[in-house]
Amino acid sequence: MIEVEGVSKSFGETEALVGVDLFVPAGTVQGLLGPNGAGKTTLVRILATLLAPDAGHARISGVDVGQDPNSVRSLIGLAGQYAAVDETLTGRENLVMVGRLYRLSPAVAKARAEESLERLGLVEAADRPVKTYSGGMRRRLDLGASLVGRPRVLILDEPTTGLDPRTRLDMWGFIRDLVEQGTTVLLTTQYLEEADQLADHIVVIDRGRVIASGTSDELKARLGSDLIEVEVSAAELDATAAVLSDVGCDKPTIDPARSRITIPVCDPVPDLMAALRALDLAGITPSDLGIRRPSLDDVFLSLTGRTTEEEDAAPAPKRRRSRQAAGSRA
Ligand SMILES: Nc1ncnc2c1ncn2[C@@H]1O[C@H](COP(=O)(O)OP(=O)(O)OP(=O)(O)O)[C@@H](O)[C@H]1O
Ligand SMILES: [Mg+2]
């Protein structure tokens, strides 16, 4: 349903996309995972016919985005990274207006608006101007607007960045419902967990290049295992590492800066219980202890040998800093 072949795009010196390939079968969710400035929005804009690639081809349902942008626009719905709703209109008016832009009759536009409002839990707020909406309500309205044209392909650019956990779960629910009804979804995100929850297939991009792709399980297998993390006093670090040397599937790593020990585990529950027993026997009581999944930072560390924080801090003469800090929305 979505085909991207060898797509490149530069802005002056900045290579935003370099030979990107992506193939999304109908009725599936493709996750596009990458840090700030990776090139996610650039690819979204190319697929949405808003930007022409310098090289390569992009097709939606077999239609080339450059050759027949109008047909492509009738196939896709787009919820951009920055909510594109009119502040002075009410939620309902915004949705009806979008329907009219799709050339729906007034009656159909009204009915579709109502359907979107109900689906996204915005009925009560429907007649308030959007300028009174919270960030989460705006995101939902934006998603609603992208659904008014009943698109076969939905493109969502960081649909949940900056949303609270509850609203994020709601969003995931909406997206799952749409996929169940046959919509094909391309979703960009900075969160491994989100791609994990929603995507059938994930492509990781960094500095405009695809650096890994696969199912979430395949990516995680490449990343390695979950980690047990134990925080103890600085004086106890070495003794704790010795006590835990037989736990997990690899040697403990000592992080003196954070006064922590991490151990890769293959069998989380028995390994955690073994760690507790060993600590108890040695009379060591950690100030913190838990299991964590690999994070996007771990993905990047393992795939590129650097963390997303280093990435942000490093001087990058060929790249502009993104307008947006990780995890926050203006
Ligand atoms: N119109 C433009 N003019 C100049 N540079 C641009 C333009 N659009 C994007 N870029 C640059 O291209 C690179 C990729 O940007 P893009 O917006 O696609 O990243 P992103 O993955 O969406 O990042 P974020 O997670 O911050 O939204 C960045 O270095 C960005 O500064
Ligand atoms: Mg972006």
Q: Residue 40: CB within 6 Å of ligand 1?
A: yes
Among 275, 292, 309, the domain boundary falls at 292
Any domain includes 280? yes
- Residues 196, 285, single domain; the answer is no
Distance (Å, whole) CA 139 – CA 174: 12
Distance 220 CA to ligand 1 centre (A): 27
- Residues 31, 120, single domain; the answer is yes
Residue 278 class from Cβ within 10 Å (0-12 exposed, 13-18 middle, 19+ buried)? middle
Any domain includes 327? no
- If one counts the domains in the chain, the total is 2
Give the model's confidence band at 295: pLDDT under 50 very low, under 70 low, under 90 confident, else very high: low
Average pLDDT of the residues in 53-71:
96
- pTM for the predicted model, two decimal places: 0.77
How much is the CA Rg of the chain, to the nearest whole Å?
23
CATH number for 32: 3.40.50.300
Tokens of 247: 């736990």
- Residues 117, 149, single domain; the answer is yes
- Residues 163, 267, single domain; the answer is no
Proximal ligand: closest to the CA of 190? 1
Distance 243 CA to ligand 2 centre (A): 45
- Residues 113, 167, single domain; the answer is yes
Distance 208 CA to ligand 1 centre (A): 9
Among 190, 221, 252, the domain boundary falls at 221
Tokens of 245: 């040397």
Q: Residue 80: CB within 6 Å of ligand 1?
A: no
Give the model's confidence band at 307: pLDDT under 50 very low, under 70 low, under 90 confident, else very high: low
- Residues 80, 161, single domain; the answer is yes
* Strand 76-79 to 153-157 pairing: parallel
Q: What is the pLDDT of residues 97-113, one digit of tens each?
A: 999 988 899 999 999 99
Predicted confidence (pLDDT) at residue 306 exceeds the cutoff of 70: no
Average pLDDT of the residues in 266-293:
92
- Residues 216, 259, single domain; the answer is no
Q: Residue 39: CB within 6 Å of ligand 1?
A: yes
Contact criterion met (CB below 8 Å) for 250 and 264 = yes
- Residues 54, 176, single domain; the answer is yes
Give the range of the structural domain holding residue 100, as residue numbers without chain letter. 2-221
- Residues 238, 174, single domain; the answer is no
Any domain includes 326? no
- Residues 98, 233, single domain; the answer is no
* Strand 209-214 to 226-231 pairing: unpaired
Give strand ranges (E) for the chain: 2-11, 14-24, 29-33, 55-60, 63-64, 76-79, 153-157, 184-189, 201-206, 209-214, 226-231, 253-255, 260-265, 288-292
Any domain includes 328? no
Any domain includes 329? no
Among 189, 204, 221, the domain boundary falls at 221
Report the percent of the chain where pLDDT is more than 70.
Answer: 88
pLDDT score for 288? 95
User: Which residue in the block uniquely carries the two structure tokens 């991009």?
Assistant: 205
Distance 45 CA to ligand 2 centre (A): 10
- Residues 216, 271, single domain; the answer is no
Any domain includes 281? yes
- Residues 189, 41, single domain; the answer is yes
Which residue, by CA, sits nearest to atom 16 of ligand 1?
Answer: 39
Any domain includes 86? yes
Any domain includes 309? no
CATH number for 251: 3.30.70.120
Proximal ligand: closest to the CA of 43? 1
Which residue, by CA, sits nearest to atom 30 of ligand 1?
Answer: 37
Buried/exposed 81-98: b ≥16 CB within 10 Å, e otherwise:
bebebeeeebbbbbbbbb
Q: Residue 304: CB within 6 Å of ligand 1?
A: no
Q: What is the pLDDT of residues 199-248, one digit of tens each?
A: 999 999 999 999 999 988 888 776 667 889 999 999 999 999 999 999 98
Predicted confidence (pLDDT) at residue 44 exceeds the cutoff of 70: yes
Q: Report the candidate in 91, 71, 93 with the shortest Cα–Cα distance to residue 152.
A: 71
